[in-house]
Homo-oligomer: A and B are copies of this chain.
Amino acid sequence: MNPTRSPRHRVAILGAGFGGMAAARSLSRLPVDVTLVDQHDYQTFQPLLYQVATAVLPAENAAHPLRSLLRGAKNVGVRRGRVERFELDDRRLRLDGGGTIEYDTLVVAAGSTYGDFGVPGVSHHAFVLQSLLGAVGIRNHVLRQFESAALDPAGADDGRLDIVIAGAGPTGVEMAGSLQELFSVLRRDHPQLADATARIVMVEPAGSVLPQYGPRARRYAERELRRRGVELRLGTGVARAEADHVELTDGTCIATRTLVWAAGVRASALGEQLGAPLGRGRRVAVTENLHLESRPEVFVIGDMADAPGPLPHPQVAQVASQMGAHVGRVLRARLSGANAPPWRYHDKGQMAVIGRGAGVVELSRRYGGLRFGGFMGWLAWLFVHLVYLPGPLNRLAALSAWLHDAFTRERAARLILERGSPELGRGSRWSDPASPVSDGSGRHNPTGEDLRRAA
């Protein structure tokens, strides 16, 4: 399983997202040895993180162990770690902790993060939906606001229950709708807060929600969100974030302790180390076969890739998966001395859910161009996400959680999951960074640090 000792062609894949996993699967049928490097030993199913943050799903159900997903792929090894440095000329990766990986072909699929556009305070005060623990952190924080407000219902109108969501793309919309539903559960939990104000304000510089959707879907989503009590501030952005309020570009100020940042996707800062031209959002320019112009052995795929095309491709799972599969095609061709056809994006369409019983679906023209919303849109969304969510237990858990939520309006996972009383032993200290129990977390992606500096 150690490619560096193998005589066969060695492939290193960086990142186990939709792109990296698709690449690993497509390479599992080729006579190559693959090492998949990720900071986690599991694949995070990003599309359902908002359900972890809003207490629909347990954290573990929005992810699945990589080695279980790759059990059939005997030539793929998983290496948990983060990249410290590329040594492209020597075709070598340096990992943190001193390890190295030598490769003949490198696939960089480190994905993207959120950018704060340099808006002051955002990188320090905003929450993002990017990791399992990040999602649990949002859940804990929101639940804690209600706990503290319940102790002083009179003073609960100071905005501590209000939430500002920046960005009205699918993530922002899904988060807003699901938070609104969580709020109604929490009002039942805390009768003394029945009349307290708890607003969800969605801020979007573009003139509408779901900007990348068609006019009908946009109007439907706007109507549904408003009907459910979400306050829309369209044509407005966040100007500055503080611990207890957010200032908007239109000069207004919203008292809140919870800013969810769902805007400004930015490709991983690893791209800067590849010595290739960077495009919009720090995406790396690649050829029609998804490798660097200067280094055919280095592929860049998914959110990080700026592939040739009339328009930049959307940074979504579909594109990443198709790019990952294409890497397999190109490598197969190369190994047999042939040429692969250029990569083409086959857009299947897009879908988003606004909340219980409400979704929008837009199939691409090649899939019939069908566009519909409402309850059918919701069902379609559930079905597609059940199909793509990895792990049979996760699917069962998601399906039962959705049905339970729809019929009982309960959120069973609304636990403030954090350290309780200090206990005997390390078991209780796992969340303490100083403890051995929380060491070894990795990253390929220093973006966070950039943002810390920006903060």
Interface on A for B, CB 8 Å cutoff? 1-2, 39-42, 58-61, 63-65, 67-68, 71, 79-80, 82, 99, 113-116, 122-138, 140-141, 143-144, 147-148, 151, 188-192, 243, 261, 391-394, 396-397, 400-401, 404, 410, 412-433, 436-449, 451-452
Contacts and interface: CB of A to CB of B under 8 A. Distances in A.
Contact of A431 (B392, B393, B438): B438
A140 B401 CA distance: 25
User: This chain: how many copies in the complex?
Assistant: 2
A415 B41 contact: yes
A421 B437 contact: no
19 contacts: A39-B421, A60-B60, A63-B415, A67-B189, A68-B410, A113-B424, A115-B424, A122-B424, A129-B427, A133-B420, A133-B430, A134-B427, A137-B430, A261-B424, A392-B404, A393-B401, A419-B433, A421-B441, A431-B438
A65 B189 contact: yes
A450 to B, nearest CB: 9
A192 B135 CA distance: 34
**Interface centre among A1, A82, A448, by most B CB within 10 Å?**
A448
Contacts of A124: 425-426
Contacts of A449: 422
Interface SS of chain A: helix, strand, loop or mixed?
A: mixed
Given A65-B415, A140-B438, A421-B447, 12 more contacts: A60-B413, A114-B425, A128-B427, A131-B423, A131-B428, A134-B423, A134-B430, A136-B430, A137-B426, A393-B401, A424-B448, A431-B438
